[in-house]
A and B are shown apart, each in its own frame.
Chain A
């Protein structure tokens, strides 16, 4: 038997996708790197404030979204939705790959959250991540879109970022 790293469902040896959650199960041996889980302490629930500086709303062209990470900022444009996550063993990479910024160590799931542009609004959706998504200190319910304001603070697991956009 093998066990799904995501939902712990037991599957027959050789199975490639979890029948309970659809996760891809094939992994080269010895490289099992599931999303790190955190015990949710009260300290963790506090919003991690971002001291990073980056472009503000006024600096952005229409259609641009800026993600302000600690010490770095990423500009997104040209798509109607962006999956935020980290590298997994699947060949598929998320649109915004936080692996290089310590995403895995901070508990970011492979497909953690989704940003969607919907009629000049920006929506944030938690994709059922292992460690949750927080908006201005409040945890989101999985799969339920919430509307973002430019300047909002988001936390993916323990990964803090601030968002500015001009849509």
Chain B
């Protein structure tokens, strides 16, 4: 089966000559031959390249492929990249290279309706949710039910020590909606927090309507920690991701385990958000439902094929919803919206480089476009740098990359501070937080700066931190990271 643009697999343009194809094929096989590159993804890439070459080197097959690809309207996804530097000095030491990857729809869906949503809302109803929190959740969920379109599917699950399906997966007629809301109003708080049973029940409901032409999503609302079943939850999330389901999390208050929830959701390409007061639940749910309904691409996966001795150190989703990503070969990115690009920051470690142009990594982006009935759409982008012996005054890094990195580095400062706390270096942590406070103040964030400086002082004087402030700083600095659409002006010549 033909997937996407065969020319990009070989790193050439569609008007390449037969000779170009041959040269490109030899170059590509040298990069991904199992003898050179031992990773499993490289073996798969090698196979695809060989197949692409077989098609493109035969004039009759090539003509047929060209006609077919043209008829499809070309690639549905577009990817471009801004590098911290396109030329690097030849050094006897490792270097880091940043790549800001921007993914956009390449085709217009026109007036096609957005794909239906298959949604499960999993609500923590442990004792600590009692009162204002649960009331706000119930109210917000009832409004969510009202905002569902006729072809959307929704299920509602509560969990404490055990899970309870309040509403099994169904599409909503007005009568059914009334009934669903009545059921939601009866939810009461009781018991502990065992997340695994809630997730299992939610995924079970999603599976009953699972389809590649829908947006399959599980929303988890919690205010507590789950104990003992974290690893099983993570395993379940990985399985869900493989089935094309994404997870998002909402942490309420200060008790919940942010590290765990971040990991859980990022395994599926989703993100976790934090709210300090229950009134914000409503806004979170509405935003979430709106963005699920505005999806262009689903189950986006970025495969990062590293060239020899290159390492991927960090991966972070910058926009639209910021959050950490796995640095595995397969990076799950979640959905692509119609109107907002998906932006990812990658940090590579380059080995010692000799002079000349050298490929660093191949980015292979996969995704489904439910609105167009396309599955496993693929595009390819090769990152390469030129190594020069004498680097003349280099051009400054692209402004968009500086913007993204300056906010990201603020976020990293607080991460470093908590690492120092864990390592027992409280003075170091306090110093980092006070530095962060200064940075925040200078970038026009006096409120967050105040929280950071208060925590710095608390660490210094009482040798302790407040969990609430920690989360406010973590998710507060994270929320500053997304780039505004108008700032995303990546150099089109690098398209």
Interface residues of A (CB under 8 A from B): 1, 12-22, 24, 26, 28-30, 81, 83, 91, 111, 114, 116, 125, 127-128, 142-143
Contact = CB atoms under 8 A, between A and B. Distances in A.
B442 A127 contact: yes
B399 interface: yes
Contacts of B401: 16
Nearest to A129: B438
Contacts of A111: 438, 442
A3 to B, nearest CB: 14
A97 B96 CA distance: 33
Contacts of A116: 446
Contacts of B42: none
Contact of B409 (A14, A17, A28): A17
Contacts of B438: 111, 127-128, 142-143
B453 A143 contact: yes
Interface of B: 84-85, 88-89, 91, 93-98, 349-350, 391, 393-394, 396-397, 399, 401-402, 405-406, 408-410, 412-413, 416, 432, 434-439, 441-442, 444, 446, 453
Nearest to B97: A14
Given A12-B349, A143-B453, A127 B441 contact: yes
A21 B95 CA distance: 20
A22 B414 CA distance: 11
Given A127-B441, A143-B437, A16 B432 contact: no
A22 B96 contact: no
24 contacts: A1-B93, A12-B93, A12-B94, A13-B91, A13-B96, A14-B95, A15-B96, A16-B402, A16-B409, A17-B406, A17-B408, A19-B416, A20-B416, A22-B410, A22-B435, A26-B397, A26-B402, A28-B396, A91-B402, A116-B446, A127-B438, A128-B434, A142-B438, A143-B438
Leading 10 A-B pairs by shortest Cβ distance: A17-B409, A14-B95, A14-B96, A13-B95, A128-B438, A111-B442, A22-B439, A28-B393, A12-B96, A127-B438
A28 to B, nearest CB: 5
Contacts of A18: 409
Contacts of B96: 12-15
Nearest to A94: B442
Nearest to A116: B446
Given A1-B93, A19-B416, A24-B402, A14 B88 contact: yes
B442 A83 contact: yes
Given A18-B409, A19-B416, A128-B435, 13 more contacts: A13-B96, A16-B98, A16-B409, A17-B406, A17-B409, A19-B412, A24-B402, A26-B396, A26-B397, A26-B402, A30-B393, A81-B444, A91-B402
A150 B291 CA distance: 51
Nearest to A127: B438
A16 B446 CA distance: 25
A12 B95 contact: yes
A16 B398 CA distance: 12
